[in-house]
A and B are shown apart, each in its own frame.
Chain A
Amino acid sequence: MSLALNYIANSLLILCLVTSIIQSRFLFKIQNYNLFSISQISAIQFLSILVSFFILIFLFITSDFNFDLVYFHSHSEKPLIYKLSGVWGNHEGSMLLWILILVLFNFLFSLSKSSSQKFKEITVAVQSLMIFGFVLFLLLLSNPFNINNENFNDGLGLNPILQDPLLAIHPPILYVGYVGFSLIFSLSITGLLTSEVDKKWATIAKPWVFAAWSFLTAGIALGSYWAYYELGWGGYWFWDPVENASLMPWLSATALIHCVVVLQRRNTMQSWTMVLAILTFSLSLAGTFLVRSGVLNSVHTFASDPGRGLFILIFLFIILSSSFLLFALKSEKINKPSSHNISSRNTGIMVNNWLLISILSVVFLGTMYPLATDLIYSQSLTVGPQYYAISITPIIILFLFFMILSPQLSWGESKLLKILNEMRYILISCLTITLLTSLYYDLFNLTEILIIFLSLILIISSLSSGLNFKSTKVIVKSNFGQSIAHAGFGIFMLAVVCNAVYSQEKIYDAKVGSKLQLDEYVFDFKNIEQEEKDNFNSIRAYLLLSKNGKDLGEFSPEIRFYSDPPTITSETSIIHQFFSDIYVVMNVPQNQESISLRLHIKPFMNILWLGVVMIILGGIITAILNRKNYRENEIN
């Protein structure tokens, strides 16, 4: 049985290799093969990987320990969902998932009708060339279907910190984002090859760019939410190298989505769009490389193997050098002369592009500097979070300013005084609200006040530009997605600042029966219980939360002792209120009498996540509304 499955799965992978070679024929001008259409071959390509992925899932569910991967990363007593997430909780499985998404995008694009036949052929060919590279890598260096000759009774288990429902869906979603940019990359290469980077190109690329960007955003957000409640450190972003590795492609992708819009509307910024498309995909690849290779010393590096990193590094080098060479050869041809006024929306978007790239540079230097000093001076060091806060804050203030201004500017020419006049009510009301609240809450830091003020204007001006109020009817305008996402970013920034300023934390050595206090909240420590569960033992503490004598709910923080592999985890307990999260973490009891508890008040967390959800929604709405928009444009 195991041998047969091994044989089938490997054959399917080889089938995918073969179809990829057939698909890439268009790059070499071989056209006389017409037995199947492109989309049919893409379908075979997709199905071969899909079936082998299902085989891997089947192996994990049936706990077939004849396979190395299952033996090392699963355990027969694990709940079903974690057997499933074990499939991509390791290097080989996650590579197969990566390839699955790669072929899925190729298949979906081969079905789409937005582009000409020739354009589609070349795009699919470029994408297939990449599929070829990755499947070859999988077969030679990290085959998930390797068989062992031992008869293991049980597996070694999945790291318990990864046994979390959220972490089961975080990698697939993040990967859809990362890999989505592979298609944008293929589209760009096709655009450069055919010298057709224009309005038409932007219209083809736009839904894919926005979809990939939305998934990337959602993937990062899920990871951040997981870190918030699972790691129990009270924060949601730690400037950890692996988090940075996912933030960097996001920053460049955010610049890219705006460029694609400019390209679609104004037929300008061709070169810059190409540079960003190549950069975004390279950073996505590097993100995978950094996370999976163990080059970065991080809490996220669960699977580490520097040898495999080398392949992705070489792959990255080939992609970067060949695509920039192509770009250098073609950039003259794709650039159309354009003239636009300095006070137009183009300028605003361009400035914010630069600002995004500046933030990207800050993050890049902060992530790479420790690697460089370790290699050159063999001096280990880390870069403190303060570095990021100090460097990024001034950029963010400028960024918010231009984010408010740009949508008010027209594509042609605008008078700044006229805009100021139109916005006077918003400006005055936001200024009043900011000053009153900062006086009331004793907020005297100018930077913080400025960010709150700008965020408020951004929220209100974005929302009012996306909706049209006409007497009793509310009309949703075509830039609705943009206005939701921009308002979401304002809400997010507002929450970030308020959370940073008003968070509170206190550690107690507590006995059962004692009452603990933090701010106006009282924590009544009721009791401790021990429990035996399926795959772990737990100690649970129970605390009642009240404020001014009013009951608000019960906490049950927990310590879990896993045996396969032996690990201890803390489960935080959070009570969500509208304006603040109350958060309790407990520690392994050091003695019988008392237990260490850490209490946090985390204001504005719900609002922060609301902002993030709005940003993602905005991206999805824009991806869907794209076609309709374009038709409207043609009429204009």
Chain B
Amino acid sequence: MTDTVKKRLIKFLVSLIIFGIAILIIVYNLRDNIVYFYSPSEIIENNQTGSQIVRLGGLVESESVVSDGDSIFHFKITDGQEQISVKYQGILPNLFAEEKGVVVEGIYMNDGRFIANKVLAKHDENYMPPEVIKSLKETGKWQE
């Protein structure tokens, strides 16, 4: 091995190690900040209760939306098999409606309720979040 090749090899290895460590730190940080998406069936199956923030998506069940003032809303999200009661305080997005697709972000409580801190806004009334389409297809409730 000539000197220049050796030098280059060392340079290469050192930068590889530094780069590797940086990637490890980033990925470690990434794992802490991931928000998983579940359908109502999946969330019951996995029993994802506790303090972790997750997303829940499906259709808003018809005649399930109740408001008790102070911008507090209760509604149910269904994937055709299971349903989850959701409580949310805040402004509902414009396109939030019964029997339409919705994604909420928050915490699934031990008592089976979901406390949402975000209801995700979508722009198009025919727009369906891809995750919701996927979970509806899995339960056979998807209609083209």
Contact = CB atoms under 8 A, between A and B. Distances in A.
Given A559-B94, A567-B123, A587-B92, A362 B26 contact: yes
A591 to B, nearest CB: 7
Given A559-B94, A570-B94, A386 B33 contact: yes
Given A299-B122, A361-B22, A366-B30, A383 B35 contact: yes
B36 A379 contact: yes
Interface in B25-60: 25-27, 29-30, 32-37, 53, 55
B134 interface: yes
Contacts of B23: 361, 365
Nearest to B15: A354
A507 B124 contact: no
A161 B94 contact: no
Given A386-B33, A590-B67, A566 B91 contact: no
Nearest to A380: B37
Contacts of A598: 91
A384 B37 contact: no
B36 A587 contact: no
B33 A387 contact: yes
B27 A365 contact: yes
B121 interface: yes
A365 B31 CA distance: 11
A231 B122 CA distance: 10
Given A159-B124, A383-B34, A509 B69 contact: yes
Interface string A5-35: 0000000000000000000000000000000
A432 interface: no
Interface stretch (B5-13, B76-84, B106-114, B125-133): B125-133
B2 interface: no
B29 A387 contact: yes
B115 interface: no
A2 interface: no
For A299, A382, A386, the residue with the greatest tally of chain B CB atoms inside 10 Å of its CB is A382
Contacts of B25: 391
Interface in A35-57: none
Contacts of B33: 383-384, 386-387, 390
A482 B69 CA distance: 55
A297 B22 CA distance: 27
A588 interface: yes
A565 B22 CA distance: 47
A161 B30 CA distance: 32
A233 B118 CA distance: 11
Contact of A390 (B29, B91, B94): B29
A299 B34 contact: no
A596 interface: yes
B73 to A, nearest CB: 8
Nearest to A366: B30
Contacts of A387: 29-30, 32-34
A568 interface: yes
Nearest to B19: A361
B134 A380 contact: yes
A585 interface: yes
A314 interface: no
Contacts of A365: 23, 26-27, 30
A594 B71 CA distance: 10
Given A391-B26, A391-B29, A590-B67, A381 B95 contact: no
Contacts of B29: 387, 390-391
Contact of A383 (B30, B95, B134): B30
Interface in A552-585: 559, 565-570, 585
For A159, A369, A380, A567, the residue with the greatest tally of chain B CB atoms inside 10 Å of its CB is A380
A82 to B, nearest CB: 16
Given A297-B129, A587-B91, A587-B92, A381 B121 contact: no
Nearest to A593: B69
B114 to A, nearest CB: 17
A358 interface: yes
A116 B78 CA distance: 68
A381 B90 contact: no
B70 A509 contact: yes
Nearest to B90: A507
Given A567-B124, A588-B94, A380 B36 contact: yes
A386 B53 CA distance: 12
Contact of A381 (B36, B70, B124, B125): B36
Interface in A272-309: 297, 299
Given A567-B123, A587-B91, A361 B26 contact: yes
Contacts of B36: 379-381
A568 B121 CA distance: 11
B92 to A, nearest CB: 7
Nearest to B65: A590
A596 B91 contact: yes
B129 A585 contact: no
Nearest to A384: B33
A387 B34 CA distance: 8
16 contacts: A297-B129, A297-B130, A365-B23, A365-B26, A365-B27, A365-B30, A382-B37, A384-B35, A384-B53, A390-B29, A391-B25, A507-B91, A509-B70, A567-B123, A585-B91, A591-B67
Closest 6 CB pairs of A and B: A387-B33, A380-B37, A568-B94, A384-B33, A587-B91, A380-B131
Given A361-B26, A381-B35, A508-B71, 10 more contacts: A361-B22, A379-B36, A384-B34, A386-B33, A391-B26, A391-B29, A507-B91, A559-B94, A570-B94, A590-B67
